[in-house]
Amino acid sequence: MQEPFHFSAPARLVDFMRQADRPGLINLAAGVPGFDALPLDALREATNEAFATDGAALFAYHHPEGDHELRALLAENLVLRGVADARADRLILTSGCSQALHGMLSILVRPGDTVACEAPAYYGLLELIAAAGARVLPIPQAGLHGPHSAGIDLDAAAELLPRWKPKCLVVCTSLSNPSGATLSESGRIRLVEICRSAGVRLIEDDIYSELLDAGAPKPCRAFDDGSTVSFVTSFSKTVSPGLRVGYCIPGTPELHDAFAAHKTQQDIHSGVLTEAVLRRFIARGALAPHLAWLRERNLRRRTLALDTIRRAFPAAAGMEAPAGGYMLWVELPKGIEVCDIRERAQKAGVVFAAGNVFFADGSGGGFVRLNCAKVSEAELVRGLELLGGIVGEIVRS
């Protein structure tokens, strides 16, 4: 039986971000999009419009919850996704998704409390949980070692949550980082019911949903009134990480007020200029065509990477094609660990995300996460060929 445990985060986000633009490397590690994925022309036009219409207000204080008109646009989009009660006054804009996650953990969790999350989980989330002084309750993903990961194991969640009563459960429901798993609609409904019955707040990380090839599905928040589900997301993976615009729907009025007060203590409010630019970008209709183009780009990159892995890696390597996004979760041949290939890969000029950093207990050394979006297509193929060659040499030795 899995029990909560105290842990030290196996990775630091700052180290990944410092590595993101290191020259001379084929970077398959940090989960960031490439420069060519950014809608520069549309962002330039949105910026010019913001300067022309908002003027000095772009450089003054504004509302702690963020740009009113942008929040209204975001609420309208959520209504279209099935969140019927979404309203601007229930949204709080943040500096990316990480601040939204940090804010929710800050108002819910105290040292010694338990936080549940899926395993594997985003290493930045594990760092936040560890920094809060909380114990972690990892809940495995179903089918992680099989042909397809279906997302968090709902049977395990139904057993573990009532037993250990964590303060919250954090789940990336679409294209979970790193596994690429997407929870089905029926699974989302059941997960909400499990959390509601156990009295556990569900924090839904929706950051990758718009990258699904089929478009963003109904989030868990569509099956709740906010009494059980909190919702966090950002535009870092879709429009621009540099804008640093995300948002949170904390849930109840009490949680909303607590989150707003905590955030105001941190930074008064998020970036006025970037919020206005994103508002203009969305209002002028630039988001939908950009997302359609971006999904096609990601699909082309994933297909290229999968074909290269099948050709260059030993046949015993395991992988699956996720339903969208730009990251691949690859299981190394049995008996090979990340530590066996990391140093050789770095000497060859290739870096990747080691699987163990996504598990609170440091397991997962038999996996790697590969980003298909940052480097050029030629570099992507070259990097995967080099990595596959290294793995093949170890298999044959």
Query: Looking at the domain assignment, is residue 132 inside a domain?
Result: yes
Per-residue pLDDT averaged across 301-327, rounded? 94
Question: Which of 230, 251, 286 is the last residue before a domain boundary?
Answer: 286
Per-residue pLDDT averaged across 347-363, rounded? 93
Q: Are 303 and 160 contained in the same domain?
A: no
pTM of the entire structure? 0.95
Q: Are 224 and 328 contained in the same domain?
A: no
Question: Which of 252, 286, 320 is the last residue before a domain boundary?
Answer: 286
Q: Are 90 and 32 contained in the same domain?
A: no
Torsion of CA 328, 204, 125, 131, to 10 degrees: -170
Q: What is the pLDDT of residue 2?
A: 82
Per-residue pLDDT averaged across 7-29, rounded? 77
Question: Which of 253, 286, 319 is the last residue before a domain boundary?
Answer: 286
Q: What is the pLDDT of residue 371?
A: 95
Tens digit of pLDDT for each residue in 88-108? 999 999 999 999 999 999 999
Q: Are 237 and 320 contained in the same domain?
A: no
Q: Are 193 and 314 contained in the same domain?
A: no
Q: What is the CATH number of the domain that holds 221?
A: 3.40.640.10
Neighbouring C-beta atoms of residue 234, cutoff 10 Å? 26
Q: What is the 3-state secondary structure (H, E, C) of the chain?
A: CCCCECCCCCCCHHHHHHHCCCCCCEEECCCCCCHHHCCHHHHHHHHHHHHHHHHHHHHCCCCCCCCHHHHHHHHHHHHHCCCCCCCHHHCEEECHHHHHHHHHHHHHCCCCCEEEEEECCCHHHHHHHHHCCCEEEEEEEECCCCCCCCEECHHHHHHHHHHHCCCEEEEECCCCCCCCCCCCHHHHHHHHHHHHHHCCEEEEECCCHHHECCCCCCCHHHHCCCCCEEEEEECCCCCCHHHCCEEEECCCHHHHHHHHHHHHHHHCCCCHHHHHHHHHHHHCCCHHHHHHHHHHHHHHHHHHHHHHHHHHCCCCCECCCCCECCEEEEECCCCCCHHHHHHHHHHCCEEEEEHHHHCCCCCCCCEEEEECCCCCHHHHHHHHHHHHHHHHHHHHC
The answer, yes or no, to whether residue 20 has pLDDT greater than 60, is no
Query: Looking at the domain assignment, is residue 312 inside a domain?
Result: yes
Q: What is the pLDDT of residue 349?
A: 94
CA 311 distance to own-chain centroid = 29
User: Which is higher by pLDDT, 180 or 15?
Assistant: 180
Q: What are phi and psi of 63, to 5 degrees?
A: -60, 140
Q: Are 307 and 378 contained in the same domain?
A: yes
Q: Give the list of residues 6+ apart from residue 117 with CB closer than 8 angstroms, or none.
A: 125, 126, 129, 136, 137, 138, 139, 169, 170, 171, 360
Query: Looking at the domain assignment, is residue 108 inside a domain?
Result: yes
The answer, yes or no, to whether residue 146 has pLDDT greater than 60, is no
Which structural domain, as residue segments, surrounds residue 217? Answer: 41-286
Query: Looking at the domain assignment, is residue 227 inside a domain?
Result: yes
Q: What is the pLDDT of residue 33?
A: 85
Q: What is the pLDDT of residue 204?
A: 98
The answer, yes or no, to whether residue 31 has pLDDT greater than 90, is no
pLDDT band at 18, cuts 50/70/90? low
Residue with tokens 């601040």: 99
Q: What is the pLDDT of residue 19?
A: 63
The answer, yes or no, to whether residue 74 has pLDDT greater than 80, is yes
Query: Looking at the domain assignment, is residue 333 inside a domain?
Result: yes
Q: What is the CATH number of the domain that holds 324?
A: 3.90.1150.10
Q: Are 264 and 306 contained in the same domain?
A: no
Tens digit of pLDDT for each residue in 235-253? 999 999 999 999 999 999 9
The answer, yes or no, to whether residue 161 has pLDDT greater than 90, is yes
- Rounded to whole angstroms, the Cα distance separating 336 from 392 reads 10
Helix 377-396 × helix 287-312 angle, to 10°: 30
Q: Are 268 and 376 contained in the same domain?
A: no
Query: Looking at the domain assignment, is residue 2 inside a domain?
Result: no
Tens digit of pLDDT for each residue in 377-393? 999 999 999 999 999 99
- Rounded to whole angstroms, the Cα distance separating 397 from 393 reads 6
Q: Are 307 and 164 contained in the same domain?
A: no
Q: Are 160 and 47 contained in the same domain?
A: yes
Query: Looking at the domain assignment, is residue 5 inside a domain?
Result: no
Per-residue pLDDT averaged across 190-194, rounded? 98
Q: Are 48 and 119 contained in the same domain?
A: yes
Q: What is the pLDDT of residue 21?
A: 61
- Rounded to whole angstroms, the Cα distance separating 73 from 67 reads 10
The answer, yes or no, to whether residue 52 has pLDDT greater than 70, is yes
Tally of structural domains, the chain: 2
Q: Are 47 and 31 contained in the same domain?
A: no
Closest residue by Cα to residue 2 from 139, 104, 181: 139
Query: Looking at the domain assignment, is residue 7 inside a domain?
Result: no
Mean pLDDT of the chain: 94
